[in-house]
Amino acid sequence: MMRDNGRIYDFSTFFILIAIIIAFSIFGNSFLKAGNISNIINQASFLAIIGVAQLVVILTGGINLSIGSIMALSTVLCGPMMLRESTVPVIVPIILTLVFGSLVGLLNGFMVTKLNIPAFLATFATMYVARGAAWLYIGQGVYYGIKESIRFWATGVLFEVGGFRVTMPMVVVTIFLLIMWFVISKTNLGRRLYFTGSNTTAAEFSGVPTKRIVVIAHVLSGLISGIAGIMYVARINAADANLGTQYHFDAISVALIGGAVMSGGVGSIWGVAGGALIIAVIQSGMNNMQIPSEVQKAFLGVVIIFAVFFNNWFQEKKMKVGDTQPVKTKSEAKA
């Protein structure tokens, strides 16, 4: 049996990450300081959550454009309970936020599987509906002044080692990623998710309840959007109907740079983590070099194209694993 050396190709995202880090440490000042790295990882933690929210749907071959809106709606609905003056136990708004997020995800899943609306259109509509609902509920203004016990999850610093601050988001996201990694790579559900995304027809012909799987993916995406909503609200200290109007795009960027493929069936949790780090590094590095944000956006676009190309190339290499056996022609064999 030959060695299965296809694994390294799953780490293409990290090669890109390393290349970018090297570039910025050459051109930028004090880029590799512990404090700066800590900031970058902290920032990436938030991106990783929405990236995973996007990934679970992309794996099925769909897309979720309503992530930002779900974040806004689910947190705004629970906003009053999260305020400092509220007497409701903290756990209630948190659970409710996740429930609301899941419900919107369920609505997306329902539209995709029962009404046969493509995920792009279904979640595109939800993006407006959920955002509109959040505006209707809150009217003008925001819920400002979030409970410290909630804020701690997004802003807390646990300890500091040589200028490197270990923050709560890092811990939260590490646990979150580990759980999601287990769900996606180690369970039957995850396996069916990938299979459905790779070839829905074949999945159906193999007895996989594809519709249920797609619904579960959307519910999961909504649930994770709820988690992301809480983290962002806790960070900015306010629940706001305008929260994250662009986050669905960020989520797509993270997932794509992380190696996910829009047609489904390809992508990984650690890829998303890498993708989130890449975006955070780019933002930090370019801020450091005082490059205007418009230019940063353009550069990000270039990185996406580059990453997709690079990931593709690696994926193809991976496909050829096991093809390295030497082949002889008959005449060569005789000789």
Partner 1 sequence: MVEFRHITKRFPGVLALDDINIELKPGEVHVLIGENGAGKSTLMKVLSGAYKQDEGELLIDGKVVEKNSPIISSSLGIGMIYQELNLIPELSIMKNIFLGNEKKKGIFDDKKYMYQKSKEYLSMLHLDIDPNTLVKNLGVGTQQMVEIAKAISKNSKVLVLDEPTSSLTDSEIKELFSIIKMLKEKGVGMFYISHRLEELYEVGDRVTIMRDGTKVGTYDLNEIKMDEMIEKIAGRKIENLYPRNRIKHGDCVLEVKNLTGKGFENISLKVYSGEIAGLSGLVGAGRTELARAIFGIDNYTSGEIFVNGVKINKNSTGEAVKAGIGLLPEDRKIQGLALKKNIRENMVITVLSSLGKKGVVNLKKEKEVCQKYVDELEIATPTIEKLAGFLSGGTQQKVVIAKWLMANLKLFIFDEPTRGIDVGAKSEIYRLMDELVAKGAAVLMISSDLPEVLGMSDRIYVMSQGKMTGCLNHDEADQNLVLTYAYNQKEEAV
Q: Which residues bind partner 1 (CB under 8 A)?
A: 1-2, 4, 6, 186-192, 194-195, 198-199, 201-209, 265-266, 318-325, 327-331
Least gap, CB of 95 to partner 1 (angstroms):
23
Which residues make beta-bridge pairs with 167?
A: 157
DSSP letter, residue 178: H
Q: How far is the CB of 210 from partner 1 (least distance, A)?
A: 9
Sign of CA dihedral 45, 46, 48, 52: positive
Considering the complex, state which of residue 287 and residue 315 has its C-beta at the smaller distance from partner 1. 315
Shortest Å, Cβ 116 to partner 1: 14
> What one-character DSSP code corresponds to residue 260?
-
Q: Of 244, 267, 265, 246, which Cα lies nearest the Cα of 257? A: 267
Rank residues 85 and 332 by Cβ distance to partner 1 and give the closer one. 332
* Least distance to partner 1, CB of residue 266, Å: 6
Quick one: which of 60, 91, 98 has its CA closest to 77? Answer: 98
Q: Are 290 and 27 in contact (CB under 8 A)?
A: no
We find the least distance from the C-beta atom of residue 211 to partner 1, in angstroms, to be: 10
> Which CB, 201 or 290, lies closer to partner 1?
201
Which of these, 250, 262, 257, lies nearest to 273 by C-alpha position? 257
Measured in whole angstroms, the distance separating CA 304 from the mean position of its chain's CA atoms is 15
Compute the least distance from the CB of residue 106 to partner 1, in Å: 20
| Minimum CB distance to partner 1 smaller for 29 or for 187 | 187
Contact yes or no for 56/50 (Cβ under 8 A): no
User: Is the CB of 290 or the CB of 325 nearer to partner 1?
Assistant: 325
For partner 1, the closer of residues 195 and 247 by Cβ is 195
**Helix, coil or strand: residue 159:** strand
